[in-house]
Amino acid sequence: MLTYIEKIKEISSRLLQEGKVDVVIGFRKGTVPMMNEPCFVKRPEDVDNFVWDSNCGINLANYLANRKEKIGIVVKGCDSRNIVTHIIENKIKQDQLFIIGVPCKAMIDRRKIEAMFETEIQEVIEAEDRIIVKGHGLEKTINKIDVLQENCAICVQRNPVIYDELVGEPVEEKKDVDRYEDVRKIESMPPQEKWKYFDDLILPCIRCYACRNACPLCYCPTCFVDESRPQWVGKSQDPTDTRTFHFLRAYHCAGRCTDCGACERACPMDIKVRQFTKKLEKDCLDLFGWEAGMTLEKRPPLDTYRPDDPDDFIK
Amino acid sequence: MKVIKIDKKEWAGGLERLSDSFLLCGPVKKDKFHNFKELEKGELPDMNLLNTRLSPKSIVYPQSEIMFKYTLDENQKDHNILKEIDKDYSPRGVIGIRPCDAKAFLLVKANFDAPEYKDPYWIKSYKATTFVGYACNIPCNTCFCTTAGCGPFHEQGLDLLLVDAGDYYLSKIITEKGKNLLTAAGWSEKMDAAAAGDQIASMKQAAEAKITARVATNKLKDKKTTELFEASFWEEVAFACINCGTCTYVCPTCWCFDIQDEAYGSSGIRMRNWDSCMYPLFTFHGSGHNPRETKMQRVRQRFMHKLKYYVDRYENGIQCVGCGRCIRHCPVNIDIRKVCDLMNDYEPALDEE
Ligand code: SF4
Ligand code: SF4
Ligand code: SF4
Ligand code: SF4
C-alpha cells in the first residue's frame, strides 16, 4: 500500500500540468499519530504534500457535492461507491471527475489502537501488514488485521467500482464474508431488549452531528434536525430527540449507505452508529438484492417502482 | 504556602466524609474514555487518566439547561408568564480537574460574569463549586498549555492543587474554599512548607519540560483584524472541515448557546443548549439571510474569535488554554496550533494570492 503514494503524486502532477483538472483532492500527513487531513492541491509542485497509508479512512466523496470545477480525486473502494451514488443523485457530474482509484488494503481504527495501551501513543509506523506503535517507554508491533476499522474488516468492495486510473494492481476481493452477524444478533432480540440496546448505544451522544457531517450522503441544504419552521426535533439532550435524530438519519441513508464507516470514525463519543445503517443495508440486500453504489446502470430501489416489489401494500 | 499531605490510604475515607457536605464530581472511565460525572455515594474518581474526553465545563454550564417554565393554560392566573425554576446551588466539589480546564473557567468568566452582563446561572454554579485540581505529571503530546497562558501545574482558577507523589498526594492550598474542603474531608497532615514547595517545584519543572507542543501568540494583538480576516490561508485551513462542531463541544473555553422554548400541551419550558459557530444555523437570520453562509466563514470565525477578537476585547491572552482536545478529536485533523502560527506569522505583503 505504501507504494501507492508515488503513483498518486505522479498522476496528480500530470493532471494538473496538462490542465485536465483544476484541483486534486487527497490526504496530507496529519499532526497527530494515525490521523491524516483531507486537502487539495492546485499546483503540480505541491503534490508532494500528498500521503497514503492506513489512516485515510475519511470518505473524500464528502468533499464533492455541488462543486463546479474539474476535480481529480483519490478514491478507495467505498469512496467510489459514494461517488456513484453522488452521480446518480446529481450531486456531481462524472465528466467533471478524474478518479484516481486506490485498491484499498483497509484502514486502521485509531481508537481501537489507543485503547490497547495505557500510555499515550507518540508514533505509529506502518510496515505493510504490521503496525509498530511507540509511546513513553513502549514499543510494540501489532498485526494490522487485528486493528482494522470495523467496516473495513467486512468490506467486500476494496477496489474502486469506477475509476480513470488505478494506482496499483487490483486487490483480491474477499468472498464469503459474513457482513451481518451483528445485525442478526439484534434482530433476534425481543423488542424490549432491542430498545434497550439502542438506547444504551446512543446514551453518550452529544448531538454534535459529526456522524451526519462526515457522511457524503448528508448533503441536504437544511437537515431535518436543523429545520425551524416547523421544528421537527428538539435540540436538548432529551432522549426522544436524540433517538429521532438517529432513526431518521439512518432512514435517510437507506439504500444509499455504502458502509464506508466515515460516520463511526468521526463520532467523538465512539458511538457505533453503523448499527443503525447496517440493518437497513441488510434489508435492502434481502428485499431488493441491492448494494449501494455498485453501478451507474441501475436506479436505487427507494426511488423506483418495480412490479415485483416484495411488499403488497404498494401494488 | 501551605501543603497538606494526603496519604492515598486516607483518600477514599476523606471523599466519603466530603460527600456529606459536597456534591462531588470526578473523572470516571466508561468503555474507552473518561468523562466527569456526579459521583455516587462511595464511588471514587478514577485518577489514572490523562484527561477527560469532554471538558468539565458542563459541571457549571450544562449542555442543556432549563431556565424558565410557563403555562399556556388561561385558567391559571399566571399563564404566559415565565417563571424561574428552582435550582440546587448547594456546595459541590470537582475532584481531579486538570489545571487547563480550571483556568478555562476564568476565560469564560469574562463572558458570563462581565461588568455589563451577568449570567445568574453560570455565576451561581461557579460560586458554589470548589475546584480540586490535579497536576499533570505526564502531559499529552497535544497539550500546549505552557504557551497558552497555562501549564501542567498552573494554579489560576483552582482552590486546591493535588500533586501525585506516588503513595500520597501533595495538596497545595490556594484559596480559603480549598482549605475548607480539606477540613471537611478531614485531611490535615501538615508538611514542612519549604520541603513540600521544593518537591512541587521540581515536579512542575519536569512536567513542563515534557511539553514540546507550542504556539506563538505574541504578534496576534498587533495584527490588523481586517487583514487577518482577508488572509488567503483560510481556504486551505477550512477545506477539510466538515463543520461538525466537535471542536467546540469538547472545548472548555467555548461558551456559545442557543435559547429554545419547548411546550408540551399547555406547559412549557425555556432552556438553553450549547451551540457552535461551526453550524450554519448559528447565524441564520429569520429573514433567510445567513451572514456566515460558507464553511470557510465559519471556520474563520472560530479561530478569529479565539485568537484575535478575544485577545483584543479582553486583553487577557487567547481564548484557549491549550488542552489539545480539539486537536485530538477533530475527525479531519484540523489543528489549532498550525492555525495560530499562521495567524501570528501572517504578513499581508507576503500573501501570494
Ligand atoms: S457524531 Fe456521535 S455524538 Fe455526535 S451526533 Fe453523531 S452519534 Fe452523536
Ligand atoms: S451512513 Fe456512515 S457508513 Fe453509511 S455512507 Fe454515510 S458515513 Fe458511510
Ligand atoms: S472538529 Fe474539525 S471538522 Fe469538526 S467543526 Fe471542528 S474543525 Fe471542523
Ligand atoms: S481551542 Fe482546543 S486546545 Fe484550546 S482550549 Fe479549546 S479544545 Fe482546548
CB A74 within 8 A of CB A36: no
Residue A75: its pLDDT value, please? 98
Atom of ligand 4 nearest to the CA of B250: 7
**What's the pLDDT score for residue A313?**
77
Task: Tell me the CA end-to-end span of chain B in Å, nearest whole number.
Answer: 55
> Are residues A161 and A248 located together in one domain of the fold?
no
User: For residue A311, what pLDDT band results from cuts at 50, 70 and 90?
Assistant: confident
CA B91 to each of CA B24, B85, B108, B128, B130: distance values in angstroms, whole numbers, following the listed order? 9, 19, 21, 5, 8
Looking at the fold, whether A145 and A237 belong to one and the same domain comes out as no
Question: Are residues A130 and A213 located together in one domain of the fold?
Answer: no
Do the domain assignments include residue A310?
no
- What atom in ligand 1 is closest to the CA of residue A266? 1
Are A153 and A192 within one domain? no
Q: Which 3-state string (H, E, C) describes chain B? A: CEEEEEEHHHHHHHHHHHHHHCEEEEEEEECCEEEEEECCCCCCCCCCCCCCCCCHHHHCCCCEEEEEEEECCCCCCCCCCCEECCCCCCCEEEEEECHHHHHHHHHHHHHHECCCCECHHHHHHHHCEEEEEECCCCCCCCCCHHHCCCCCCCCCCCCEEEEECCCEEEEEECCHHHHHHHHHHCCCEECCHHHHHHHHHHHHHHHHHHCCCCCCCCCCCCCCHHHHHHCCHHHHHHCCCCCCCHHHHHCCCCCCEEEEEEEECCEEEEEEEECCCCCHHHHCCCCCCCCCCCHHHHHHHHHHHHHHHHHHHHCCCCCCCCCCHHHHHCCCCCCHHHHHHHHHCCCHHHCCC
What is the model's pLDDT at position A307? 82
Distance CA A286, CA A210 (A): 29
Contact B60, B101 (CB under 8 A): no
Q: Residue A106 pLDDT more than 90?
A: yes
Q: Looking at the structure, do residues A102 and A189 belong to the same domain, yes or no?
A: no
Amino acid at B264: Y
Strands across the sheet containing A138-143: A121-127, A130-135, A138-143
| Nearest C-alpha neighbor of B113 from the set B97, B127, B98, B102 | B127
Give the pocket of ligand 4 (CB within 6 Å): B 250-253, 306, 320-326, 336
Please report where in the chains the cell 437544511 appears, as a residue: A222
- Contact list in A for residue B327 (CB cut-off 8 A) is 31-32
Cα of A66 vs its chain's centroid, Å: 19
Half-sphere exposure of A55 toward its Cβ, with a 13 Å CA cutoff?
26
Residue A312 lies in a domain: no
Say if the Cβ atoms of A120 and B50 lie within 8 Å: yes
Question: Testing the interface with A: which of B136, B141, B276 to mutate, by most A Cβ within 10 A?
Answer: B141
| Rounded alpha-carbon distances, angstroms, from residue B306 to A285, B108, B215, B220, B234 | 48, 11, 13, 11, 15
Task: Please tell me whether residues A91 and A133 are part of one structural domain.
Answer: yes
Last residue of a domain, one of A177, A212, A246: A177
pLDDT of residue A92: 97
Residue B31: the pLDDT is: 85
- Residue B54 has phi, psi (to 5 degrees) of -95, 155
Question: Which amino acid makes up residue A94?
Answer: Q
Q: Which three cell numbers stand for residue B333?
A: 485533523
Cα separation of A191 and A168, whole Å? 48
CA of B266 to the centre of ligand 2 (A): 40
- Judge whether residue B353 has pLDDT over 80: no
CA distance B340 to B353: 20
Q: What is the pLDDT of residues A59-73, one digit of tens each?
A: 999 999 999 999 999
B63 touches B274 (CB < 8 A): yes
ipTM: 0.94
Question: In the structure, what pLDDT confidence band is assigned to residue B64 with cuts at 50, 70 and 90?
Answer: very high
CB contact under 8 A, A31 and B236: no
Q: Does A155 lie in the same domain as A52? A: yes
What is the Cα gyration radius of chain A?
A: 20
Give pLDDT, residue A1: 62
With contact defined as beta carbons under 8 Å apart, do A67 and A51 qualify? no
Q: Are residues A149 and A184 in the same domain?
A: no
Q: Is the CB of A121 under 6 A from ligand 2?
A: no
Q: Which of B333, B335, B326 is nearest to B54 (CA)?
A: B326
CB-ligand 2 contact for A215 (6 Å cutoff)? yes
Q: How confident is the model at residue A118 (pLDDT cuts 50, 70, 90)?
A: confident
Asked, for residue A309, whether it belongs to a domain, the answer is: no
- Do A189 and A293 lie in one domain? The reply is yes
**Omega before A230 within 30 of 0, i.e. cis:** yes
CB proximity list for A53: less than 8 A, separation 6 or greater: A1, A2, A36, A126
Ligand 1: lining residues by beta carbon, under 6 Å: A 205-211, 266-269, 271, 273
- Look up cell 477514599; give the residue: B12
The nearest CA of chain B is from the CA of A289 a distance in Å of: 32
Cell 494570492 belongs to which residue? B353
Using the 3D structure, point to which of A177, A204, A229 is the last residue of a domain: A177
Structural domain including A289 reads 178-303
Euclidean distance between CA atoms A162 and A249, whole angstroms: 27
Share of chain B above pLDDT 90, in %: 96
Distance CA B49, CA B336 (A): 23
Place of cell 487577518: B228
pLDDT tens-digit map of A120-179: 999 999 988 999 999 988 899 999 999 999 999 999 999 999 999 999 999 999 998 999
Smallest Cα distance from A237 to chain B, Å: 7
Is B138 in contact with A119 (Cβ distance < 8 A)?
yes
Task: Report how far apart the first and last C-alpha atoms of chain A are (Å, whole number).
Answer: 50
Per-residue pLDDT at B286: 87
Determine the distance from the C-alpha atom of residue A268 to the mean position of all C-alpha atoms in its chain, rounded to a whole number.
16
Among candidates A257, A249, A271, which has minimal Cα distance to A216? A257
Task: Summarize pLDDT for B32-63 with one digit per residue, the tens.
Answer: 899 999 999 999 999 999 999 999 999 999 99
Give me the mean pLDDT over the B134-144 stretch.
Answer: 95
Instruction: Give the list of residues 6+ apart from residue A306 with CB closer than 8 angstroms, or none.
Output: none
A252-293 tens-digit pLDDT = 999 999 999 999 999 999 999 999 999 999 999 999 999 999
Q: Are residues A152 and A219 in the same domain?
A: no
Among the three residues A177, A211, A244, which one is the final residue of a domain in this structure?
Answer: A177
- Express each pLDDT in A211-259 by its tens digit: 999 999 999 999 999 988 888 999 998 999 999 999 999 999 999 999 9
- Split at pLDDT 50, 70, 90, the class of B90 is very high
- What is the Cα–Cα distance from B194 to B1, expressed in whole angstroms? 9
User: Chain B: nearest CA to A176, how far in angstroms?
Assistant: 31
pLDDT value for B351:
87
A314 within a domain of the structure (yes/no)? no
Whose atoms come closest to the Cα of A266: which ligand? 1
Residues A127 and A50 in one domain: yes
Confirm whether A313 is domain-assigned. Answer: no
Other Cβ atoms within 10 Å of A17 Cβ, number: 12
A201 burial via Cβ count (<10 Å: 0-12, 13-18, 19+):
middle
The predicted structure's pLDDT at residue A229: 82
Number of structural domains, chain A? 2
Please tell me the number of the ligand nearest to residue B303's CA: 4
**Ligand 2 mean position to B244 CA, how many Å?**
15
B6 confidence band (pLDDT: 50, 70, 90): very high
Q: Do A215 and A282 belong to one domain?
A: yes
Residue A311 placed within a domain: no
- What lies within 8 Å, CB to CB, of B226 at 6+ separation is none
pLDDT tops 80 at residue B93:
yes
* Distance, CA of A145 to CA of B72 (rounded, Å): 60
Among the listed residues B327, B242, B277, the one whose alpha carbon sits nearest the alpha carbon of residue A214:
B242
**Dihedrals phi, psi of A87, to nearest 5 degrees:** -65, -45
Å from CA of B292 to ligand 2 middle = 27
pLDDT of residue B11: 97
Question: Is the pLDDT reported for residue B169 higher than 90?
Answer: yes
